[in-house]
């Protein structure tokens, strides 16, 4: 199967992460993972991305992904764009059975480390204004609110909070 995103495989330990979950490792997502990724997506969001949307997103030249795997089972993922001086997170989800074990935090920390390696000066994301749990996670990692995108979510018209983590790096 075609590899959607090229990136070196990275384990949680190699990224300097210690989670409460033994055997957690990260690798790039590929097309053979999409059925399990869609299962996580549907369990996580009222308005999930479609398989075609995932395929389109991951074929963008600057798109990157990390799949969190325990044993052989995908349990979470993050999709982001690696831009010239910035990383923009587009999607993050953890299977409900594996939440509150540090997997989402570990995925974000791995992306933040990638931003530092690439000398990016910020990591950005949008989050539903109603998703206070996610906002708390982002704030705990140093993200702060930068603005609001009114009616950002086309499925229900909810506003998005723009959050950013400012890093030391080129301007």
Give the active site residues.
126, 138
Contacts of 82 (CB under 8 A, 6+ apart): 62, 63, 64, 114, 118, 120
> Does residue 68 contact residue 26 with C-beta atoms inside 8 Å?
yes
* Other beta carbons within 10 Å of 74: 21
CA dihedral 7, 13, 17, 19 (to 10 degrees): 120
Sign of the dihedral defined by the CA atoms of residues 71, 74, 78, 80, in that order: positive
Q: Tell me if residue 163 falls in helix, strand or coil.
A: strand
- Tell me how far apart the alpha carbons of residues 50 and 128 are, in angstroms, rounded to a whole number: 19
Alpha helices in 45-102 (DSSP H): 51-59
> Does residue 24 contact residue 14 with C-beta atoms inside 8 Å?
no
């Amino acid at each position: 199967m075609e590899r959607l995103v090229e990136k070196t495989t990275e384990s949680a330990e190699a990224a300097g992460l210690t989670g409460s979950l033994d055997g957690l490792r990260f690798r790039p997502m590929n097309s053979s993972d999409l059925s399990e990724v869609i299962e996580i997506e549907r369990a996580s969001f009222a308005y999930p991305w479609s398989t075609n949307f995932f395929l389109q997103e991951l074929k963008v030249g600057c798109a990157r992904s990390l799949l969190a795997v325990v044993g052989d089972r995908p349990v979470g993922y993050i999709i982001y764009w690696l831009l010239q001086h910035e990383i923009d997170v587009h999607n993050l989800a953890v299977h409900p059975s594996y939440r509150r074990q540090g997997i989402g935090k570990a995925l974000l920390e791995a992306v933040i480390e990638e931003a530092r390696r690439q000398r990016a000066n910020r990591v950005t994301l949008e989050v539903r204004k109603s998703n206070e749990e996610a906002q708390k996670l982002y704030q705990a990692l140093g993200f702060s609110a930068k603005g609001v995108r009114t009616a950002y979510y086309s499925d229900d018209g909810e506003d998005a909070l723009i959050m950013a983590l400012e890093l030391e790096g080129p301007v």
